[in-house]
Amino acid sequence: MAAFLQWRKFVFFDKDTVKDPVDNGKDFVLPKGISACDSGRGHIVLDVIGLNIWLLTRSLQLTSFQAYKLRVTHLYQLKQHSILVSVGQDEHGINPLVKVWNLDKRDSGNPLCTRIFPAIPGNKPTEVSCLSVHENLNFMAIGFTDGSVVLTKGDITRDRHSKILTLHEGTCPVTGLAFRQVAKVTHLFVATLEKVHCYTLSIKEYPKIELDTHGCALQCSSLADPSQDSQFIVAGDECVYLYQPDERGPCFAFDGHKLLAHWHRGYLFLLIRDVKSPNNRESFPSDKQLLTIYDLDNKFIAYSASFDDVIDVVAEWGSFYILTRDGKMFVLQEKDTQTKLEMLFKKNLFVMAINLAKSQHLDSDGLSEIFRQYGDHLYLKGDHDGAIQQYIRTIGKLEPSYVIRKFLDAQRIHNLTAYLQALHRQSLANADHTTLLLNCYTKLKDSSKLEEFIKSSESEVHFDVEIAIKVLRQAGYHSHAVFLAEKHMHHEWYLKIQLEDLKNYQEGLRYIGRLSFEQAESNMKRYGKTLMHHVPEGTTLLLKGLCTNYKPSEEFIPIFANNPRELKAFLEHMIKVDPSSPQGVYDTLLELRLQDWAHEQDPERKKVLQGEAVFLLRSDNTVFDKALVLCQMHNFKEGVLYLYEKGKLYQQIMHYHMQNEEYGKVVEACKHYGAQEGCLWEQALGYFARKEEDCKAYISEVLHHIDQNNLMPPLLVVQTLAHNSTATLSVIKDYLINKLQRESQQIEDDERKIRQYREETAHLRSEIQELKMSAKIFQKTKCNMCNSPLELPSVHFLCSHSFHQHCFESYAESEAECPTCTPENRKVMDMLRAQDQKRDLHDHFNRQLRGSNDGFSVVADYFGRGVFNKLTLVTDPPGSKTIGSLDVNLQRDVLIHTKRNS
């Protein structure tokens, strides 16, 4: 429970009396007799005692319209729709009526009333006590003084699309209703004078939960916004309670008799009856009312003031308005965030300022400035630990030198170290910051922090490594400097420290032997004399290697020279813990596994070793050429075939099977890889043709595929099989018969097409002759476009199509072309143009001729395009006749003769 007296009070609102826009010197006066009001959609709605509803606009213009014949009792203005719901009476007695008004539509100058229905629970005459409407217009709840709640479900603006039911019954008057919508779940909170309930409306049975055994008075409940998780607020005389749909939430000890409770834009508004000072012995209640605005998130009072007889507090037009019964209207305008922060800064309330800034969604620059001011405040107080924590929060916004200058004193080196560490963690440190941090570590002699800093993983290095090596070397931390140099491959610094500072010549020589040739060569030129003086034998050996066949040493493999079993175990461990080990590790391990496989006699164990070797090949860590040589040396068939396939060496796969005389595997290889390399079938046929043993079955299968895919000319097939003494005519009998039958069928098809084309050509020629020599009689009686009887004027074409002139003009693309024949004619013309364009594509013709299985068809195709019809020789004298299309042989002879003489 949050104690009221612990909360600080501020004046975060400016109070003014609303002035009359017509007469600026006078206060604006509201109509007398206001009993209820609400706001939304750009206006304030007033319920003045009587039969009218009043609307107040932003320009303080008052308009009214008659809503009931007797009086208005309740109003509810939706915030997201221009829909107003009212309760009132049109006749005497207890007959409350609900009316739904659309304020955007007009009916004889007044808002349009879209629905009217009686508000009586179960035909029992009882007064309405409160009203609430869901913003989605699908729910309306009406509370009554007899403890009943009526729920309207469906479209509240129409009668036929909604249904009414009694949701709640009780004996105590209903004082508050509120809908809560989170995601797709809808709840209805019901408050009475004695209890608080919650109904789940998104479940068909409308389950109910009793949340508390005490309630509140009228207007003393409200629904918070999502910043408070849309909790239901109930203001009792001693405390303010917040409720979730299934349980009671936090409780705040705000004492006093509550007259009003509202939640507006993140603030809780409470109106209580003001009591005179306890110093007065006659502690009688006064007529004053105390309005207090609470910020529940940040635990402070944003405003508090006394008013006379408040009717309600509404939020509209960016401000809050207090309406009183004497007709006055006050406005509370919230101060801007910067002004609030400055007020908090003056009181050194920096924690509260930070919380306020976050709740107001202040940007990172603004927050950083608050952290800086808070840090300065703590620094001046002498709280250097607290100050550095605030300065750390400014990293990325505040210049680091501002903070560093404050903590350069030796007594504050711990704080400076913490700041510099944070600067490095965020990768915002430069070389000077790294130098300073390492000097801090060395001054503090904090070896553990120093090691933690320099031994971070590769992905967590937030400093300049070379700068760090220099600083550590200068400070005498040679071991740390050597570690960094070796880890981050700064070879020159590593050798400089080992040989010049630590005089560790043997280690320096070993390190050089691990480097690449270029790096080893340059460092030997630099340190060769020194190394030769101190370790002459090792230096001589290394120089020999550099001058002959130098390879960087695999450090520990030579140790296992005579222990292959232990070497294999070591290498398997290496690739397990470090899959990115050098390729030499994988190549050596592959060789060891293949050796074990080759010498193993047990079939089961041999199969296991085979799987291990194949697994290593599939890991893609071995060198292809080396792996292939190793597999061939050990006759490791599975590995050889896998590598051939991986390298797309399909002919080698087939030749491998040929060498092992695996006839079935040869055919399978052709089937698998023949699509990638068509020559495999031809090679297979030649292979089986050279075999003297009986291979008729395999030859027949190969011939079948060759025949199906037309891979070889029949003459070449016969010549290939002529080398095999066992391959008789019966082997290729079926192949030749099928081939001859297909060619005979093709010849018949071609002759049939020739006859057809000749007949069609003769028919076309006769038609052309007839059109040229004789008159054309048009006897069409219907239009070919609209199929209606022809009427003059009409258009006729020689193709026997006729059209109305208006149809022809509507659909024809050209005056000289028949609209019906144009699409087909256009296709023919496009084909002719394409053929003309390809007549001189000699390179294209040659490529097609070389790549085609049937060269005669290619020549015939080009012959049909007229490629060979006409040949003009450069040597022809001007004016001579061009050789005609009938003297083709003469053209060829002349061309050949010309080429030979040229």
Q: How far is CA 237 from the centre of its chain?
A: 52
- Sequence-distant (6+) residues with CB within 8 A of 841 are none
* pLDDT for position 144: 94
| Amino acid 902: pLDDT | 35
Distance CA(202)–CA(181), nearest Å, equals 10
What distance in Å separates the CA atoms of residue 465 and residue 480, rounded to the nearest whole number?
12
Say how far residue 235 (Cα) sits from the centre of its chain: 46
Contacts of 758 (CB under 8 A, 6+ apart): none
Q: What is the rounded distance in angstroms from the CA atom of residue 514 to the CA atom of residue 558?
A: 14
Residues 6 or more apart whose Cβ sits within 8 Å of residue 103: 41, 55, 82, 83, 84, 111
| φ, ψ (nearest 5 deg) of residue 886 | -85, -25
Q: What are the residue ranges in the chain where pLDDT is below 50?
A: 1-4, 277-285, 457-459, 872-902
pLDDT at 650: 74
Dihedral class, residue 458 (left if φ above 0, else alpha if ψ from -120 to 50, else beta): alpha
Residue at token pair 């896998």: 642
Handedness of CA 668, 672, 674, 679 (dihedral sign): negative
Which stretches of 292-363 are DSSP H helices?
A: 337-346, 350-359
Side-chain-facing half-sphere of 312: CA atoms under 13 Å: 19
Q: Which residues contact 821 (CB under 8 A, 6 or more apart)?
A: 797, 799, 801
Neighbours of 232 (CB within 10 A): 28
Phi, psi of 66 (to 5 degrees): -75, 120
pLDDT at 795: 82
Answer whether 7's CB lies under 8 Å from 293's CB: no
* Pairing status of strand 62-66 against strand 285-295: unpaired
pTM: 0.51
- DSSP tally for the chain: helices H, then strands E: 30, 32
* Residue 130 CB partners (closer than 8 Å, separation 6+): 74, 142, 143, 174, 175, 176, 177, 218
Q: What is the tens place of the pLDDT at every residue in 318-368?
A: 899 999 988 889 999 988 878 888 888 788 787 878 777 777 777 777 777
Residue 613's nearest CA partner among 602, 603, 83, 598 is 598
In terms of phi and psi (left: phi > 0; alpha: psi -120 to 50; beta: otherwise), the region of 154 is: left
* C-alpha count within 13 angstroms, C-beta hemisphere, residue 756: 6
Residues 6+ apart with CB under 8 A from 791: 804
Q: Residue 260 pairs with which residues in a beta bridge?
A: 271
Q: What is the pLDDT of residue 292?
A: 92
pLDDT in tens, 596-651: 888 888 888 888 888 888 887 777 777 677 777 888 887 787 777 777 777 777 77
Question: Could you give the C-alpha distances from 303 to 220, 225, 271, 292, 308, in angstroms and in order?
Answer: 19, 20, 12, 6, 17
Report how far residue 477's alpha carbon sits from residue 451's, in angstroms, rounded to the nearest whole number: 11
